[in-house]
Amino acid sequence: MSEARRYQQLRAHFSYLKLDSAAEALPRILDAARAENLSLTAALERLLEIEVTATEERRLAGRLRFACLPDPWTLSDFDFAAQPGVDEKLIRDLATMRFLDDASNVLLVGPPGVGKTMLATALARGAAEAGNRVYFTTAADLAARCHKAAVEGRWATCMRFFAGPKLLVIDELGYLPLPGDGASALFQVINQRYLKSSTILTTNVGIADWATAFGDATVAAAMLDRLLHRATVVGIDGPSYRLRSHQSTSDKLRKAVNAHVS
């Protein structure tokens, strides 16, 4: 077989195996192999590394598309100095993703604007980057989807969907009253994930007030029992980041007025 024909054959093999990035890099790597006198092993390793990197990037993009994260936040976007209410060491420990290994949960509890959604999103992104299937939803959306599924006779499929991800984020529990059977749907989702895979839950309702917030004290107690059995509770009792700019504007205004008066 001539060298040119062998090269065409090699390109055809790559194309058949859908190793498109390696195929594209092939001329470059062959030139480098000649120029740098690379061993066959070194050249092959370089070529396949290109394919592996491209595959990893494609899979991560797929996981991130599936995850439906509300923003592209990472932990480096979070200003720990601006939020003294957050235990940075604890968050950095969660960011190692060890909590996924023993299926423990994370509860982010605090008033609006303190960064609960941002931290949940950043942790979810980290989990996806580490190779895990992640899904982000809000408590209200989860309840609505479960309700719709029940009406349309797709309850089991819906439960399987929420059982699937290695990490499920349920944002904003307690902001809106859950519709009719919402609390029970939420309980079933939590219960089937219990001890199998991790859930991050954000809420503005202090744990002591869950019973009243969910109407049904028994369901609330059963839900907390599963959630807290293996969990890290992150209480964020700090200033609202959203109100920061308003705060400094009104501070400035007040100072200006005071200066004018005195």
Q: What are phi and psi of 7, to 5 degrees?
A: -60, -45
Considering Cα of 91, then 95, then 100, then 102, what sign does the dihedral take?
Answer: negative
| C-alpha span between 31 and 68 (Å, rounded) | 42
Q: Which of 21, 104, 117, 188 binds Mg ion (CB under 5 A)?
A: 117
| C-alpha span between 131 and 115 (Å, rounded) | 25
Q: Is residue 235 involved in binding ligand ADP (CB under 6 A)? A: no
For the chain, the first-to-last Cα distance in angstroms comes to 96
Region from 15-23, 36-44, 74-82, 252-260 binding ligand ADP, contact rule CB under 6 A? 74-82
126 binds, among Mg ion, ligand ADP, none (CB under 5 to 8 A by kind): none
Q: Is residue 117 involved in binding ligand ADP (CB under 6 A)? A: yes
Alpha-carbon distances of 248 from 44, 155, 262, rounded to whole Å: 59, 49, 21
Nearer to ligand ADP, 7 or 239 (CB): 239
Q: Which of 10, 61, 68, 82 binds ligand ADP (CB under 6 A)?
A: 82
Region from 39-47, 109-117, 206-214, 221-229 binding ligand ADP, contact rule CB under 6 A? 109-117
| C-alpha span between 158 and 148 (Å, rounded) | 9
Binding region for Mg ion (CB under 5 A): 117
Binding region for ligand ADP (CB under 6 A): 78-79, 82-83, 110, 112-118, 241-242
